[in-house]
Chain A
Amino acid sequence: DQQVKQNSPSLSVQEGRISILNCDYTNSMFDYFLWYKKYPAEGPTFLISISSIKDKNEDGRFTVFLNKSAKHLSLHIVPSQPGDSAVYFCAASESSNYQLIWGAGTKLIIKP
């Protein structure tokens, strides 16, 4: 049973436009959510996180939105740049458990 779902395996966006990556979860006990970016042959790089007490967190070009009632979060990248082309993983955790529960990832392709 997948507790964290990224339903789009890939997404293609024009350079300069907004990229929106989506993530859904089923476990209402999750209280901390993270986005990681991964280039081929490298480890995941932490991008941005959000606690369940917030509905938005912003860091430069990256904004994460959390909708707890819908159990949905999204990552907005604006403007999208060629270097943003990578696989993006959504992950979640709950305060009583050390494990990060990962989505399957979305491959983002930024077209010049």
Chain B
Amino acid sequence: DAMVIQNPRYQVTQFGKPVTLSCSQTLNHNVMYWYQQKSSQAPKLLFHYYDKDFNNEADTPDNFQSRRPNTSFCFLDIRSPGLGDAAMYLCATSRDRSSETQYFGPGTRLLVL
């Protein structure tokens, strides 16, 4: 089945220790997104890739970076996690950027100690 896969599902890191979350997709979609979601609030978009073109949201902290080495994979790097970065991180994909359905992965729950 075509899908969006996130690894790991749960990640524990220490305050200030860099962490990388990964996402892969078999949908062959052009766009990949990273969201942060806390409790049952609406997801907050951090950035997205349209093909290789990186687009950062204005209010995304510099602490968050992303890489997309190829169509299928996208990584979220948190350079120095703080306690406030503990959240669910969601990867999503869409075929194109506008008026398109976004398909989400299961998420990675990040815990910062």
Known A-B contacts A51-B99, A94-B99, A95-B99; the reply to A87 vs B104 at CB < 8 A is: no
* Contact call A89/B42, Cβ cutoff below 8 A: yes
Please give me the residue from chain B that is nearest to A52 by CB atom: B99
Residues of A within 8 A of B31 (CB): 98
A99 sits at the interface (CB 8 A): yes
Q: Across the interface, which residues of B come within 8 angstroms of A60, CB to CB?
A: none
Nearest CB of chain B from residue A28's CB, rounded to whole Å: 15
A97 adjacent to chain B (CB < 8 Å): yes
User: Is the Cβ of A31 less than 8 Å from the Cβ of B104?
Assistant: no
Residue of B nearest to A38 (CB): B40
Interface string of B14-45 (1 = CB under 8 A from A): 00000000000000000100000000111101
Known contacts A103-B42, A107-B40: does B101 contact A43 (CB below 8 Å)? Answer: no
Q: How many A-B contacts if CB must be within 8 Å?
A: 62
> Are B42 and A102 in contact, with the CB atoms below 8 A?
yes
Inside 8 A of A36's CB, which chain B residues have their CB? 104
Q: How near does chain A come to B1, taking the closest CB pair, in angstroms?
A: 13
Chain A residue at minimum C-beta to C-beta distance from B55: A98
CB distance from B99 to the nearest CB of A (A): 4
A46 CA / B4 CA spacing, docked (Å): 12
Q: Are B109 and A46 in contact (CB under 8 A)?
A: no
Q: In the docked arrangement, what's the CA distance between A93 and B92, Å? A: 15
B52 at interface (Cβ–Cβ under 8 A)? no
Determine which of A34, A46, A102, A107 lies in contact with B43 in the assembled complex, contact meaning CB atoms within 8 Å. Answer: A102
> A77-95 CB contact bits vs B (8 Å, 1 = yes)?
0000000000101000111
Across the A-B interface, give the 7 residue pairs with the lowest CB-CB distance, nearest first: A102-B42, A98-B97, A43-B104, A32-B99, A43-B107, A95-B98, A95-B99
Interface residues of chain B, those whose CB is within 8 Å of chain A, are 4, 6, 31, 40-43, 45, 48, 50, 55, 88, 90-92, 97-107, 109
> Interface residues, chain A, CB within 8 Å of chain B?
31-32, 34, 36, 38, 40-46, 49, 51, 87, 89, 93-100, 102-105, 107
